[in-house]
Chains A and B, each alone.
Chain A
Amino acid sequence: MKLLETFRKLDRKGILGMNARNVAYIARYNERKLYPLVDDKLKTKEAARKHNIKVPELFGVIRYTAELNDLGDLLDPLTGFAVKPLRGSGGKGIIIISGRDGQNFLKPSGKVVTLKDIRHDISNILSGVYSLGGRPDTAIIESLIRGRPDLLKYSFEGLPDIRVIVFRGFPIMAMMRCPTAKSDGKANLHQGAVGVGLDICTGKAIRAVQRDVLVERHPDTGVDFSDLAIPDWDEILQLSAKCYDMTGLGYIGCDFVLDEYRGPMILELNARPGLAVQIANGIGLRTRLEAIEKLGNVDLHADERVAYVLEKFGVLSAKQA
């Protein structure tokens, strides 16, 4: 029974499966009533502001189709912005505008879109195309994040983001997601973006994976991943730990972007983070989750939790696991 053997090996390696994630972690540690805090980006922003966590600036909120008439006035002073569905997930329905061409707008790919195009996309968002169950949604317009050049070189078109898995306030595993031509500039690993496992203690690259294949260089930009070290890593760990205090959700994925001028910012939080981070790191999540669970109900400050992680989950201890 080769399958059974694979099963046992994965289990021994502490790989977390989808069923275990759903039953043992999401259902147990994420209270349903707290979901809106992460699913609704406006609420996330509000809560983040209270906890002094940086988020992209909000330019406007569009709730009703009628408000689209004033869209021109709202967008007129802006050169770069992002339109997002409030309750969207997985990066669906996001429109990025990185520049202007007179009255028209420019996508990062250089494609020119008109105000009418943007109106149409927003009307799609409002009618609920991207929200769960097709509920009518709201569109928000945010400031565009200017990626740091030293990170942008690891990416094709889009912005690389950093996903940190936070369990009961302990940042336990992290990766950087680098868009590629294959992923159409999106940071989704299953669409072909490169996942770079990051040493949770240092923010340095462990290895890079694209669709189950180890890669050394970015397939489009050719930059070597082994030199990658995320700047401001301590701040990212701090912010991740604080996200737990902010949401109360025990098992979340925090998505960060590093702005050239403002530093690490929370892009969004996810109460059902995927399991691809294990593939990027080559390490199972369960070993670390269980280590945290063993601590019991300790009431630690965010700094103390980060300190614990730094002590326990370095790249050395990872190799032991």
Chain B
Amino acid sequence: MSPKGQVYLFAALFILLGLGLTAYKSLMLHFPLLPDSERTVWDIEAKLSFETRGTPLTVSLALPEKQQQFKILDEIFASAGYGFAIEENHQRRAIWTRRDVSGSQTLYYKFKITERADAQELSSQDLPETVIPPTWSSAEEVAARSLINSATDLSSDATSFTQQLLQMLTDAQLSQDAQLLFESSRGESIGELAIKILNAADIPARMVRGIYLENRVYNQRAEELIEIYNGKEWVFFNPYTAQRGIPSNFFMWQRGGQSLLDVVGGYNSRVRFSVIGNDISAKAVALQEAENQTAALVDFNIYSLPLDKQNTFKSLLLVPIGALVVVIFRVLIGIKTSGTFMPVLIALAFIQTTLTAGVLILLSLVAAGLWIRSYLSKLDLLMVSRLAAVLITVVILMAGFSVLSYKLGLDQVLTITFFPMIIIAWTIERMSIIWEEDGPREVVKQGGGSLVVAIIAYLLMTNDFIEHLTYNFPEVLLIELGIIMILGQYTGYRLTELKRFRFLIE
């Protein structure tokens, strides 16, 4: 096969493979092709406070369980000075331990959650344990029976029974029976009382604790829901409103079972919650979500790297985009750049410095460098020494710019260190030779060409869609490779040649 045929064969192969993998990931693995809109990430903080008198201390906090509506992205346990472990028996619990401490203590558990994109109805398959009827005094027994009877009369099954019962307990005009029960069970919440009555009626019921996700809520107590088993499934109720179902912004922390917080060796313990909602780009969320993915394509992916390494790769994956821009500009448009891929490196630096600041810094750096270089050229230095001298000049300029701008309060200029100094020194050297040989016009032409290409590469490399695509679909690299190979076979005119040779057809 001719070299040309091979190029097209491989290019087509690469492009098809890239497109295929992208389509597979998008259609089968539900990776979003477009960087979708922002998603709310809730920062939740549980603050545990208690006092202790220097006895050995064990603090145990129930942790939120895996659930279908929300996804836990990130957990932090702030526990300086404490031993820490996570227990995963029946329920996930965080255990802090310490031998000898006294006074008031505070521990924090922080995490981030976001709503799942593919949220499903919560369904619980676990069967209830046998109901243990509560122990009442005889007066309570009579009052409870009376409530149970009226609720039974007004209902047809366990679900509607619960509904009726909760309405009786939350009615503005409480019945005498209900009043009596509330008074004798001092300190119990409506939910706790309702569960006792339900159990007395032989209906399996349990407590659900959680928090409402509202922005900027501080020191909130754990809120309660109750759930009952109606013979087929678990049904949720809000005991305070008698409403059925889980409120949409309710984040479930703990279902049934034990206490939320146990402190052995301390007293006056309490948990308070703070909630802050942040709108964060869906990509950042997807990034954290992806850690839980198990598909092979994802497993052998950049996501499996540590977070800081991922960031490195993020910029690495953008480099080919820059290279593609350079190829297009040189092959199709015909703009001269100084140093083949220098514009890509400059564009990478722009990403750190932002465009305006970056261009200004670069121009002043090169201008100052050229000015000093013009003096160096009079000094009869050998080239390597002169180049090294220019390099040191660049370093001094960078340091000078940083310090000066910092004093002036221009923090932006501190990002100057992201400019690749060797490349800049080399650029200054080349530009100064072009200046001597071909005059300042050529310097402006080539320098300007490089800058234009760098800016366009920067604009593409910071484009949300492209950033999203290259990072989440590294297969796109194959497509880029294919396109570049095909461009390498392009023998047509460059755009600038149309102008150059136009003279010939007039």
Tell me the A residues contacting B by CB distance below 8 Å.
3, 6-7, 9-11, 13, 15, 17-20, 23-24, 65, 92, 120, 123-124, 127-129, 134, 191, 209, 212, 278-279, 282, 284
Distance to closest chain A CB from B483 (angstroms)? 15
Chain A nearest CB from B330 CB (Å) reads 9
What chain A residues lie within 8 Å of B491 (beta carbons)? 17, 19-20, 23-24
Name the residue on A nearest B383 (C-beta): A127
Find chain B residues with CB under 8 A from A7 CB. Answer: 492-493, 498
B76-93 vs A, CB cutoff 8 Å, 1 = contact: the mask equals 000000000000000000
Contacts of B501 in A (CB 8 A): 10, 15, 17, 278-279
Find residues 429-458 in chain B having any chain A CB closer than 8 Å to their own CB. Answer: 433, 437-438
A17 contacts which chain B residues (CB < 8 A)? Answer: 491-494, 497, 501
Within residues 77 to 117 of chain B, which ones have a CB less than 8 A from any CB in chain A?
Answer: none
A9-B505, A129-B433, A282-B504 given as contacts; is B383 within 8 A of A19 (CB)?
no
Would you call B498 and A6 a contact (CB within 8 A)?
A: yes
- Given A9-B505, A13-B504, A92-B437: A127 in contact with B382 (beta carbons within 8 A): yes
Q: How far is the CA of A135 from the CA of B380 in the complex (A)?
A: 18
| Interface SS of B by simple majority | helix
Q: Which of A127, A209, A212, A278 contacts B384 (CB 8 A)?
A: A127
Known contacts A3-B498, A20-B492, A209-B503; 15 additional CB pairs below 8 A are A6-B502, A7-B493, A10-B493, A15-B504, A17-B492, A17-B497, A18-B497, A19-B331, A19-B491, A20-B491, A24-B491, A127-B383, A212-B500, A278-B504, A279-B503
CA distance A23 to B487 in the complex (A): 11
CB-defined contacts of A65 to chain B, threshold 8 Å:
382
* Number of residues of chain B lying within 8 A (CB) of chain A: 25
Interface residues of B in 366-401 (CB under 8 A from A): 380, 382-384
* Partner-A contacts on B (CB < 8 A): 331, 334, 380, 382-384, 433, 437-438, 488-495, 497-498, 500-505
Question: Roughly how many angstroms separate A282 CA and B493 CA in the complex, as a whole number?
Answer: 17
- Which of A17, A23, A212 gathers most chain B CB within 10 Å? A17
A-B contact count (CB 8 A): 69
Least Cβ distance of A175 to chain B in Å?
A: 14
Closest 5 CB pairs of A and B: A127-B383, A20-B491, A17-B493, A9-B505, A212-B503
- Do B382 and A6 touch across chains, with their CB atoms under 8 A apart? no
Q: 30 A-B residue contacts at CB 8 Å?
A: A3-B498, A6-B502, A10-B498, A10-B501, A13-B504, A13-B505, A17-B493, A17-B494, A18-B334, A18-B494, A19-B490, A19-B491, A19-B494, A20-B492, A23-B488, A23-B490, A24-B491, A65-B382, A120-B380, A123-B380, A127-B382, A127-B383, A191-B438, A209-B503, A278-B501, A278-B504, A279-B500, A279-B501, A279-B503, A284-B504
How would you classify the secondary structure of chain A's contact residues: helix, strand, loop or mixed? helix
> Are the CB atoms of A124 and B504 closer together than 8 Å?
no
Q: Which residue of B lies closest to A127 (CB)?
A: B383
For B490, the chain A residues whose CB sits under 8 A away are 19, 23
Q: Which residues of A contact B331 (CB under 8 A)?
A: 19
In the docked arrangement, what's the CA distance between A65 and B492, Å?
A: 46
- CB neighbours (8 Å) of A24 from chain B are 491
Bound complex: CA of A282 vs CA of B438, how far in Å?
26
Give CA–CA (A19, B488) in the complex, Å.
Answer: 9
Q: A19–B502 Cα gap in the complex (Å)?
A: 17
Please name all residues of chain A whose beta carbon is closer than 8 Å to the beta carbon of B382 when the two chains form the complex.
65, 123, 127
Measured between alpha carbons, how far is A69 from B492 in the docked complex, in Å? 52
Residue of A20, A120, A279 near B504 (CB, 8 A) is A279
Most chain B CB atoms below 10 A, which of A18, A20, A120, A191: A18
**Residues on the B chain within 8 Å of A134, using CB:** 383
Chain B, residue nearest A92 (CB): B437
Residues of A within 8 A of B502 (CB): 6
Shortest CB distance A79–B (Å):
26
Contact between chains at B383 and A128 (CB < 8 Å)? yes
Q: Which residues of chain A come closer than 8 Å to B334, judged between CB atoms?
A: 18
Q: What's the minimum C-beta distance from A202 to chain B, rounded to whole angstroms?
A: 22
Q: Which residue of A lies closest to B426 (CB)?
A: A134
CB contact under 8 A between A19 and B504, given known A127-B382, A134-B383: no
User: Which residue of chain A has its CB nearest to the CB of B331?
Assistant: A19
The listed residue with most B CB atoms (<10 A of its CB), out of A13, A23, A129, A284, is A129
Tell me the bound Cα distance from A52 to B380 in angstroms.
Answer: 40
Chain B nearest CB: distance from A123 CB in Å?
Answer: 7
How far, in Å, is B495 (CB) from chain A's closest CB? 8
